[in-house]
């Protein structure tokens, strides 16, 4: 069970900058919440087209995947439905491995922003959420390599790229978020100590 976010004590005359920051966190949280639904729907649509509809409208090429009508002039283009079932399942698992951590990042980010908007600045739950976001980013960075291992075992791979520059970006961002989580933990300890003094 997640820890309840305890709002930081607020004076009656909350500074204008903090009120603006809370409103901004609320708006960003709503925006992130709005992004989650279409991204999840897109992922489900791709999986349904790939697995339940025989790969209709899905195309793979070295270094790219296409949704819709087959693009012209793309070397090595293969209809997803032409791949053997084990390879299709391996690509579907790769898709889930790469997309699920990113959706979970957005879910935790929405919760983090919602609690910031509610006044929970230095709550332990905020540091835990940031740590989870960092772990999801690491999972997203490692997913292409793991997915390509699955495709190699299944055989008939089209896109054999196991390393993506976005993985490096995700790892760097994960390190930054982990540092922010540590800073929030320190801030929570300082706030608890401050509240302990009378």
Query: How confident is the model at residue 4, as a pLDDT?
Result: 58
Query: For the stretch 86-105, what's the b/e string if a residue is b when 16 or more beta carbons lie within 10 angstroms of its beta carbon?
Result: ebbbbbbbbbebbbbbbbbb
As a whole number of angstroms, the distance between CA 55 and CA 158 comes to: 14
Query: How confident is the model at residue 179, as a pLDDT?
Result: 95
What is the pTM (predicted TM-score) of this model? 0.81
Please say whether the beta carbons of 167 and 141 come within 8 A: yes
For the chain, helix, strand, coil in percent to 5 are 70, 5, 25
- Each residue's pLDDT tens digit in the chain (198 positions)? 455 555 555 555 557 788 888 999 999 999 999 999 999 999 999 999 888 888 888 988 888 888 888 888 888 889 998 999 999 999 999 999 999 999 999 999 999 999 989 888 778 888 999 999 999 999 999 999 999 999 999 988 887 777 778 899 999 999 999 999 999 888 877 877 776 665
Q: Where are the domains of the chain?
A: 16-196
């Amino acid at each position: 069970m997640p820890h309840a976010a305890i709002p930081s004590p607020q004076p009656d005359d909350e500074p204008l900058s903090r009120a603006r920051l809370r409103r901004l966190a609320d708006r960003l949280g709503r925006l992130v919440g709005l992004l989650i639904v279409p991204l999840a729907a897109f992922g489900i649509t791709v999986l349904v087209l790939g697995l339940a509809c025989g790969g209709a409208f899905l195309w793979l090429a070295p270094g790219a995947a296409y949704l819709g009508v087959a693009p012209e002039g793309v070397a090595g283009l293969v209809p997803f439905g032409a791949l053997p079932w084990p390879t299709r399942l391996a690509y579907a698992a790769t898709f889930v491995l790469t997309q699920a951590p990113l959706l979970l990042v957005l879910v935790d980010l929405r919760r983090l922003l919602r609690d910031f908007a509610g006044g929970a600045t230095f709550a332990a739950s905020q540091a835990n959420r940031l740590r989870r976001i960092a772990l999801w980013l690491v999972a997203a960075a490692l997913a292409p390599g793991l997915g390509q291992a699955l495709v190699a075992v299944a055989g008939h791979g089209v896109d054999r790229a196991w390393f993506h520059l976005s993985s490096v970006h995700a790892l760097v961002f994960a390190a930054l978020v982990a540092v922010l989580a540590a800073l929030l933990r320190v801030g929570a300890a300082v706030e608890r100590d401050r509240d302990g003094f009378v």
